[in-house]
Amino acid sequence: MIRFIVFTSLLLAVFAGAARGEPRALYSRYCAECHGADRLGGTGPALIPETLERMRGPKLGAVIAEGRVATQMPGFADTLSPDEIAALGEYLTTSLAKIPDWDPEQIERTRTLDPDYVPVTAPAFDADPLNLFLVVETGDHHVSVVDGDGFTVLDRFPTPFAVHGGPKFTPDGRFVFIMSRDGWVQKYDLWSLAEIGRVRAGLNSRNIAISRDGKHLAVANYLPRTLTILATADLSVEKVFEVADKDGTASRVSAVYQAPQRDSFILALKDAPEIWEIATDPDAAPVYEGYVHSYEKGMVEAIAGSEGLFALRRIAVTSPLDDFFFTPDYRHLIGAARDGERGVVVNLTVGREIAELPLPGLPHLGSGISWIRDGRRVMATPHLKQARLSVIDIETWEVVKTIETLGPGFFLRSHENSRYVWADVFFGPNRDAMHVIAKQTLEIVETLRPVPGATVAHVEFDRDGKHALVSVWEDDGAVIVYNAQTLEEVTRLPMRKPSGKYNVWNKISFSDGTSH
C-alpha cells in the first residue's frame, strides 16, 4: 500500500512537473521511453552533451519540434511550447551528475546475437566478395552493400544511430564491424548478407580497430575513459583498459589504430601526453615501463611492465597528439598538435618525437595518404581550416609543396593504380567541387562539379583502381561512379546522405591511397 502511494505520488509529481514545463519532468514524460530514463539511450540514441555536441543550439530544438526524418523520432511542436522545447534542449546539453562505469558486466548485458543467423559456406551472390563496397548512409542510418563490378546494391541494412569512422573487416574480408557514436558495435556477415549481433562497448565512442589476426576488436571511448577490447568471434568483452596517464590522470581515447607490422593497436590519447601501444601478439615480449637507478645494486634497473597479449607500452610525448597519419611501415606517425598549427613526427620504434612540421590551419592528418613521387615517398594532408593541401616528404620530413584549393577539405583518396589524388572541398561555397590532382606534378588537373550546389565528398576506389566512387553528401544524394582514368561518369546510385565508402580489398590489403 505504502509502495503504491509513493509510486502514485512520484507519477503525479512527474506529471505536475511536466504540466509546469520543468525540463526533467518533460524528459520523463516524452523522451525517456525511447532514450532511456538515464538519458543513455534505448531504442533512440543517448541524449548527453558528449553525443549531442555536434548538434547543439537551434538544431537540437528543431529536432525536438519537427522530429527527425526517416527515424522513429516524432515532432513535439504541437505538444510542447517553444519555451518548453528550449528548456528541454538546455537540459539535454547539461552533463550527467554521475557517469556510469560501463564495466564489462554492463557491456555484456547489452550483447545480442541474432538467433536466426545461419552462416553460409559460400557467398550468397555471384559478385566478387573482395570487391564489395560498404556505403554508410547517414541520412537514414543504413549501410548499402554494393557490388564493385556491376555497381548494384546487394543488400541494405539498418545500423545503430550515427555511424562514424570506417567499418573494419576481418583479414579474409568476410565479416565487418561497424561502430556508432553511441558506442554500439554491429557485426555483419558479408557472405550471408546478414547481421550477426550487436553490443554497446562504450557510451560515447570514437572509432574501432581490428587486430592483425582478426581476433580482437578495440573500441576507443570518450565516455567512459576506456578502451574496450571485444572478441570478434562473439562480441564478448575480453578486456577494458581504464585509460590514465602515468600519474593516474584519466584520459579520453581520441582514436585507436591497427599497426599491422607491429602486431599492435596504437592509441591517441586526448588528455594525456602519451601514445599507447597495446600488443595484439599473444607472444609479445615483455614491455618495460621505464628505468630506475638501483643504488643498492649500483646499476640501472628496468621496471617490468606487462607481456604477452594486450601488453601495454607508453610512449611519452611533449603534449597530447591525435589524428594520426602512419607511414606505410608503421615505424613513424605524424600527430596533430593541440594548437592546430603543427604536425609532430614520432618514431614508434624508439618511442620519441623526432621532427616537427609547420602545418597551420588544422591539418586533418587522419585523412592523409601517401604515394611515390620521383622515387621518394610523399604524403599529403588536407587542412580543416585552410584552403590547401600540404605535401610532405616522409624521409626528410619537409613540406615539399602547398597546393591551393577552392576551400578546406576533409578527405583525400588515391589508389596504387591511379595517377591521381582526389580531394574534396568540404567547407565553404565551393563544397560542390572535387579536385583531381596529378600525383607527379602536384597540379590540379580537373575540378568536377557533378551536382551544382550539393556537397560532394569522400572517394573510394574499386580494388583495381579503375573506378572512383564519390558521395553526393545530401539527404536525396547519390554515389557517383567515375571512370578513374577518363574522369567520366559511369553511373549514379541514389543514396540517403552517403558518407564514407569502403572497399573490402583495399582495406584488407592496406592499399596505398586509402584509409585503414
Q: Which of residues 28 and 254 has its CB atom nearest to ligand DHE in the complex?
A: 254
Q: Which is nearer to ligand DHE, 164 or 174 (CB)?
A: 164
Residue 366 binds to ligand DHE (criterion: CB under 6 A): yes
Task: Answer whether 481's CB lies under 8 Å from 490's CB.
Answer: yes
Contact of 387 with 404, CB cutoff 8 Å: yes
Is residue 23 part of the contact set for ligand DHE (CB under 6 A)? no
DSSP 201-265: --SEEEEEEE-TTS-EEEEEEEESSEEEEEETTT--EEEEEEPB-TT--B--EEEEEEEGGGTEE
Span from 142-150, 162-170, 310-318, 343-351 in contact with ligand DHE (CB under 6 A): 162-170
Tell which one of 131, 138, 180, 386 touches ligand DHE (CB under 6 A).
Answer: 138
Shortest distance, position 176 Cβ to ligand DHE, whole Å: 13
**Contacting residue, 76, 410, 422, 505, with ligand DHE by CB under 6 A:** 410
Residue (274 or 460) nearer to ligand DHE, CB: 460
Nearest CB to ligand DHE, comparing residues 166 and 363: 166
Going by the DSSP 8-state scheme, the letter that residue 129 receives in this structure is G
Question: Under a CB-based contact definition with an 8 Å cutoff, are residues 274 and 314 in contact?
Answer: yes
Q: Report, in Å, the least distance between residue 225 CB and ligand DHE.
A: 16
Q: What number of chain residues touch ligand DHE (CB under 6 A)?
A: 14
Residue with smaller CB distance to ligand DHE, 80 or 132:
132
Give the residue with the Cβ less far from ligand DHE, 207 or 418: 207
Residue 56 Cβ vs ligand DHE, minimum distance, rounded to whole Å? 12
Instruction: Name 35's Cβ contacts closer than 8 Å, sequence gap at least 6.
Output: 41, 42, 44, 45, 46, 47
CA–CA gap between residue 242 and residue 227 (Å, rounded) = 7
Q: Judged by CB under 6 A, does residue 499 bind ligand DHE? A: yes
Helix (H, G, I), strand (E, B) or coil at 367: helix
| Interaction of residue 206 with ligand DHE, rule CB under 6 A | yes
Q: How far is the CB of 160 from ligand DHE (least distance, A)?
A: 13
How would DSSP label each residue in 400-417? Answer: EEEEE-SS----EE--TT
In the complex, what is the shortest distance from the CB of residue 515 to ligand DHE, in angstroms, rounded to a whole number?
A: 3
> C-alpha angle 150/153/155, rounded to 5°?
135
Kindly state whether residue 144 participates in binding ligand DHE, applying the rule CB under 6 A.
no
Q: Name which of 138 and 186 has its Cβ closer to ligand DHE.
A: 138
Nearest distance in Å: CB 216, ligand DHE: 15
C-beta of 18 vs 218, nearer to ligand DHE: 218
Q: Which amino acid is at 130?
A: L
Grid coordinates of 316: 611519452
The CA distance from 432 to 452, in Å, is 6
Q: Strand runs (DSSP E) across 124-180, as ranges?
A: 132-137, 142-147, 153-158, 168-169, 175-179
Rule CB under 6 A: choose which of 3, 54, 98, 297 binds ligand DHE: 54
Q: Which stretch of DSSP H or E encloses residue 471?
A: strand 467-472
Region of 3-11, 161-169, 387-395, 435-443 interacting with ligand DHE (CB under 6 A): 161-169
Give how far Cα 218 sits from Cα of 132, 208, 232, 240, 424, Å.
Answer: 24, 5, 10, 9, 29
- Based on the shown chain and the rule CB under 6 A, indicate whether residue 255 belongs to the binding site for ligand DHE: yes
**CB nearer to ligand DHE: pick between 341 and 393:** 341
- SS3 of 177-190: the string is EEEECCCEEEEEEC
Residue with cell 537540459: 91
Cell numbers 638501483 correspond to what residue? 294
Give min distance, CB of 193 to ligand DHE, in A.
22
Cβ-based neighbours of 74, under 8 Å, separated by 6 or more: 67
Output the smallest distance, CB 136 to ligand DHE, in A. Answer: 7
Sketch the per residue contact string, 60 through 99, with ligand DHE: x for CB under 6 A, - otherwise.
----------------------------------------
Residue from 131, 144, 205, 207 touching ligand DHE (CB under 6 A): that is 207
Residue 496 near ligand DHE by CB under 6 A:
no
Question: DSSP 3-state assignment of 1?
Answer: coil
Strand order in the sheet with 312-316: 253-259, 264-269, 274-279, 312-316
CA atoms of 159 and 142, how far apart (whole Å): 5
- Residues engaged in binding ligand DHE (CB under 6 A): 54, 138, 164-166, 206-207, 255, 366, 410, 458, 499-500, 515
